[in-house]
Amino acid sequence: MSDAPIGDPSPVGNPSPVGDPSPVGDPVSQPQAPSPAPASNGDRRALMEVRHLQVLFPVKSGLIIDRTVAHVHAVDDVSFTLTEGETLGVVGESGCGKTTLIRTLVRLIDATGGQIRFRDRDITRASRRAMQPIRRDVQMVFQDPQASLNPRKRISQILATPLKLRGVPNDQVETESRRLLERVGMRAEHLSRFPHEFSGGQRQRIGIARALAVNPKLILLDEPVSALDVSIQAQVINLLDELQDDLGLSYVFVAHDLSVVRHVSDRIAVMYLGKMMELSPSEELYTKPIHPYTSALLAAIPIPDPKENRERTRTKVVGEVPSPIDPPVGCRFAGRCPRATDICREVEPQLTEYAGGHAAACHHPQNVTAQEIAAATRSPLSPLHSGEQMPTHTA
Ligand SMILES: Nc1ncnc2c1ncn2[C@@H]1O[C@H](COP(=O)(O)OP(=O)(O)O)[C@@H](O)[C@H]1O
Ligand code: SF4
Ligand SMILES: [Mg+2]
């Protein structure tokens, strides 16, 4: 078994299913109706509620008759609520289901089970037509701006399509395009150029301008700065921050390591092998990680603050991420976790809510006292098949 260090962004044993890559409509273990859960985080209104979301991709075999022989558990019973104006960071190693999760939120992929509500409307199985206005409210920005911008179109054409979709009259499209480009720190004369004439950072700004063209409420950002130099990353993140303040946007910001999302996120969700492991207010995740997997992710990034560096518990893990085709029962991290015991290999841990809106799915949490565990409760966002056992305190 080769050791795959945590934080390594290389893909994990990705299966290549033969045939139709679309997810299955008939799940292996379909979650039941979503359970009630707090609708909002603090006083703000819920914008999107995700309950027990599951996406399974069929793995097919057979030359003549396509048979489904297994399923890739890409997203497996994930729940959260995103509030208006909030940025939720979603972090985890490559292959843990981040892209599948956000593509499913905007219905580019159909959910196998669970529910997605946008502004109180169930959109999980909404028709194409019913999704049209929601597709304007929820936009995506992709990791690779080069691939997501049509190389044969000028920037003016790239921006004109969404502007017209928003109902901007033809004679105002150019003025509006200039305004948009300037809004993202580009110049009006860039309108006549093609995507290849720009740097990676500029292309990502254009991708953001295109998303903004339809006046969205929510932008799903799939590793929007991973392909950029570190200095450019900060500029793009600052731009996203400003836009959020000015326009009241909400973001789901996906990244494969914890260094990028710290300052942009209000809360951070940590994913591992299709499951949500921890959900925490941003700063607290860095100073008091409860889940051993989060500690392992943190150990993989440099910490500028020496005090925080000294105080943080570091978890070193080895081993490979298991296959998402046949994920382990119990805790999916058990095979790599230094704190694992028998119960971890047998019972899926519930998502437990600690003080301050901090939740983690672990039988033997770190950085919490016996008193904090005694005061904790089972989260209504817990996976449907998780156990009822409360975590036990381990020093
Ligand atoms: N269309 C597809 N068909 C089959 N498996 C897929 C498909 N898309 C993604 N997967 C698998 O689902 C898992 C999650 O992938 P993905 O959401 O891309 O993860 P991440 O974005 O975190 O890297 C991976 O094992 C990946 O190989
Ligand atoms: S439940 Fe057990 S195996 Fe999973 S992270 Fe916690 S201690 Fe480790
Ligand atoms: Mg991805």
Phi-psi region of 309 (alpha: psi -120 to 50; beta: other; left: phi over 0): alpha
Least distant ligand from the CA of 392: 2
Q: DSSP letters along 267-315, please?
A: EEEEEETTEEEEEEEHHHHHHS--SHHHHHHHHTS--S-HHHHHHS---
Provide the residue type at 144 as one letter: D
Spatial distance between the Cα atoms of 281 and 298, rounded to a whole number of angstroms = 15
DSSP 57: E
For residue 309, report the distance from its CA to the centre of ligand 1, in Å. Answer: 33
Q: Give residue 24's pLDDT.
A: 53
Q: Inform me whether the pLDDT recorded for 4 exceeds 50.
A: no
Question: pLDDT category, 162, cuts 50, 70, 90?
Answer: very high
Q: Inform me whether the pLDDT recorded for 25 exceeds 60.
A: no
136 neighbors 163 (Cβ within 8 angstroms): no
Least distant ligand from the CA of 74: 1
Q: DSSP letters along 119-149, please?
A: TTEE-TT--HHHHHHHHHHEEEE-S-HHHHS
Q: Inform me whether the pLDDT recorded for 27 exceeds 70.
A: no
Question: pLDDT category, 157, cuts 50, 70, 90?
Answer: very high
Q: What is the tens place of the pLDDT at every residue in 51-74?
A: 999 999 999 887 777 888 999 999
Q: Give residue 251's pLDDT.
A: 98
For residue 11, report the distance from its CA to the centre of ligand 3, in Å. Answer: 9
Across the chain, mean pLDDT equals: 88
86 neighbors 220 (Cβ within 8 angstroms): no
96 lines ligand 1 (CB under 6 A): yes
Q: What is the tens place of the pLDDT at every residue in 90-148?
A: 999 999 999 999 999 999 999 999 999 999 999 999 999 999 999 999 999 998 878 88
Q: What is the tens place of the pLDDT at every residue in 193-245?
A: 999 999 999 999 999 999 999 999 999 999 999 989 988 999 999 999 999 99
- Ligand 2 pocket list (CB less than 6 A): 291-293, 331, 333-334, 337, 339-340, 344, 349, 362-364
- Sheet containing strand 275-281, edge to edge, reads 138-141, 218-222, 250-255, 87-91, 267-272, 275-281, 358-360, 352-354, 377-378
Instruction: Return the residue matching tokens 């008193």.
Output: 371
Q: Give residue 65's pLDDT.
A: 76
19 lines ligand 1 (CB under 6 A): no
Spatial distance between the Cα atoms of 260 and 99, rounded to a whole number of angstroms = 16
Which of residues 66 and 368 earns the better pLDDT score? 368
